[in-house]
Structure 1
């Protein structure tokens, strides 16, 4: 991107099929990170990807679908479930990973997108749902191992645990605008463990 904030010159023609789709989706993610959802245009994405805008309209019909597919692909890469040997270490890795994801340029674009009017778009609402369901799924083996090691009560609800872990991060990013860093993640781990060990995150509540 140049100093004026406009996209870089388009790359050479990317052809058709999977190569074209990959270029367009990558350009969409870059454009989201650069200008945000509300300022994103098909024209700018096309220029960044090195394709004609009619190619994008022919394949995605509307920019909401384009954004949805681009975000889904970006966050679909699996992050290994932590296995540090302790529940505190595992939760710290999960919380720090969440902080790193949501404070990255693309993560901030995701958060801004799902908190805006775009959240009313079904495709984008599904991205938000899938993003959080994936994070909840990752908590299950972490909690299961912790229960087996005697580090957590047997009735600990994995989903409630992760909601408690993630809540301070999302609250700061979405509402107060306070800084979010590894210290935020580590503090959230301590609060979550205290709540779980006090049976406040029980699946029977």
Structure 2
């Protein structure tokens, strides 16, 4: 996956030796199970893109995957389980953060991936559909949060390199930096519905970089407890001379 936001049909495809669904009673990696899961996932993705979460049904997934709806209900429980598992599959890739030689370059590359994804209708449809589903399904929202948390966690080497170069303070939170550069872009895309362009991505990078350099995303160390010595029970009597 090129960027935490980029969920494409190509990236969601599994090989026949992928692991089985993480659902009790379906532990059988590879072979038929993996092919079934891949077919179901592809049908879920297609349905989300074509009809959105409200229009996605188990019957649609059964028809387009070739898997009987009884099996779908038994193994995934329903539409929410199907969407959550599709997001889980999206996390099974080898994406790594960019390494351009500077934090500015790395953050620019991350922002550029958001721009490239959402300005191309072919690649914007899938992630947009998953994000929309998270607004309508609690289970999809949990799966989406886990997906992004894992993606942002992969940005740790990006920040570690920046710390080693002296670009940001030690203890800078990689997840916070990744969120900072992405958040303004997602706000424009999904809240204000403004166009996303090079100027917007450049502004997001500049703001995130300045905040990171200033220590805004440094993890605070726990404060040492303040002690004033033994507690006093009140004024002490003056000892006799």
State which of 156, 161, 169 in structure 1 corresponds to 2:185.
169
Question: 5 Å matches for 1:69-80?
Answer: 69-80=85-96
- Partner Cα separation in structure 2 for residue 101 and residue 179 of structure 1: 13
Secondary structure of 2:191 counterpart: helix
- How far off its partner does 1:189 sit? 0.9
State which of 72, 75, 97 in structure 2 corresponds to 1:81.
97
* Bigger proportion of residues as helix: 1
- How far off its partner does 1:28 sit? 0.7
Matching residue of 2:41: 25
Matching residue of 1:105: 125
Question: 5 Å matches for 1:1-205?
Answer: 17-100=33-116, 104-116=124-136, 118=137, 120-121=138-139, 124-204=140-220
CA separation of 1:150/1:62 partners in 2, compared to 1, >3 Å: closer, same or farther? Answer: same
- TM-score computed with the length of structure 2 as normaliser: 0.69
Secondary structure of 2:54 counterpart: coil
Secondary structure of 1:145 counterpart: helix
- The 8 Å contact of residues 29 and 71 in structure 1, kept in 2 or not, is answered as no
- TM-score computed with the length of structure 1 as normaliser: 0.80
- Partner Cα separation in structure 1 for residue 87 and residue 171 of structure 2: 35
Secondary structure of 2:53 counterpart: coil
- How far off its partner does 1:185 sit? 2.7
Which stretch has the larger CA shift, 156-165 or 145-154? 156-165
Runs of 5+ consecutive residues of structure 2 not aligned to the other structure? 1-30, 222-241
CA separation of 1:204/1:57 partners in 2, compared to 1, >3 Å: closer, same or farther? Answer: closer
- Partner Cα separation in structure 2 for residue 139 and residue 17 of structure 1: 32
- Partner Cα separation in structure 2 for residue 16 and residue 148 of structure 1: 47
- Partner Cα separation in structure 2 for residue 87 and residue 125 of structure 1: 30
- Partner Cα separation in structure 1 for residue 37 and residue 151 of structure 2: 27
- The 8 Å contact of residues 108 and 202 in structure 2, kept in 1 or not, is answered as yes
- How far off its partner does 1:72 sit? 1.6
Runs of 5+ consecutive residues of structure 1 not aligned to the other structure? 1-14
RMSD of equivalent CA atoms: 2.3
- Partner Cα separation in structure 1 for residue 164 and residue 82 of structure 2: 44
